[in-house]
Structure 1
């Protein structure tokens, strides 16, 4: 798997979608402002493999697909939310017990628990990513949780190449996040730049995931 090529293709995809196409960029910014739901719906188009980046139209469908994608994400996060609530609840209960030793132990346990929550979230994300593509391409929320098909797709890609690809994506995202954080330090203008960059970043990530999914030949 050529990770560099995937990153380059994703960058070019996002760049060509907005640079010099100011009307589309404005529409994507509006899609972002509207709670991000139309943008999520637009991302579903990208995950379907539409190339070049499609026009921003049919807002009703974008909203509906965005809501469905949000539902998929929430369902996937339910285990994480439950574990996090239990960890934080137990931690705060121990911290407020009045016993300093118990409080310190509770805080330590809570820190460990939060690490467990993070690991759980990462494990779930491994399956959720493929699940979202399956939803985008079939239109069925149920297919987002077709774990036998999800596992089959990952197996075709190869677990090691798949994990490496996700690590590459995370590294790219961290670099982008650092750049955005620096821009955000600029009063007012920083926030406006951030608002303008949300959609291109989403296109970059979704195009990368699309290529990763297609590498399975699915």
Structure 2
């Protein structure tokens, strides 16, 4: 998989979308604050529009943004659940009482609680990766079809991801995350002005990310 091509294409797409188009840039900055609009614009980017779409049809943008937020929240639920389990695995066993005469005593050795918690942490990482990849493809599938139910056709999503390869998808998303994080980190190191530039570049980061995952989605034909 040509990750460098994904990065290059996404950069060119973002540059064409914003450079010299200051009104669009300003409107996207406002949309970041009223965030359903920026999510709705992301739907249009992930839909494969090229060049980048204009900011129009604001009601549609808002509705699509709300739908995309709902999709991401639903996919985040299992991650939240598994994030809680390590704490429950440690604190529930070690806080239980067994005899009123001696006061509170753990039902299990605290060391065992730690081992169980570490096991749940490992499980959480696996679940987070799997659900994260599924959610990414679900967002694009919704954007391409315009139907929310398509975002939850798990069999179709699994088949699509399988064509590309789970490892390829994971590496592609890591490359994206690292690339964006490096730029953001460099900007944060610049006193005062770096934070301002980072804020101004938020639309660029968002467009870049959505275009990148759209390219990843397109790297294999999506099931009907």
Query: TM-score with structure 1 length normalisation?
Result: 0.85
The CA distance in 2 between the partners of 1:179 and 1:96, in whole Å, is 45
| 1:127-165 Cα deviation digits (max 9, x unpaired) | 22221111112221110011222233234x432xx6325
C-alpha distance in 2 between matches for 1:205 and 1:89: 35
Q: 5+ residue gaps in structure 1?
A: none
Residue 171 (structure 1) aligns with: 175
Aligned length: 214
Aligned partners of 1:201 and 1:153: how far apart in 2? 26
Structure 2 CA distance for partners of 1:2 and 1:185, relative to 1, 3 Å? closer
Deviations 1:11-32 (A, max 9, x none): 1111211122111111111111
Asked if the contact 2:169–2:216 (Cα under 8 Å) also holds between the matched residues in 1, the reply is yes
CA deviation vs aligned residue, 1:89-140 (integer Å, no higher than 9, x gap): 3334456678799445434543442232122010112222221111112221
Matches within 5 A, 1:23-172: 23-34=23-34, 36-93=35-92, 102-155=109-162, 157-159=163-165, 163-172=167-176
Deviates more, 1:192-201 or 1:90-99: 90-99
Distance 1:13 1:141 in 2: 26
Q: Give, in angstroms, the shift of residue 42 of structure 1.
A: 0.6
CA deviation map 1:61-96 (0-9, x unaligned): 222111111111111121111222232233344566
| 8 Å CA contact retained: 1:76, 1:124 | yes
**Structure 2 match to 1:215:** 219
CA contact (8 A) 2:161 2:169 kept: no
Give the secondary-structure state (helix, strand or coil) at the position aligned to 1:202. Answer: helix
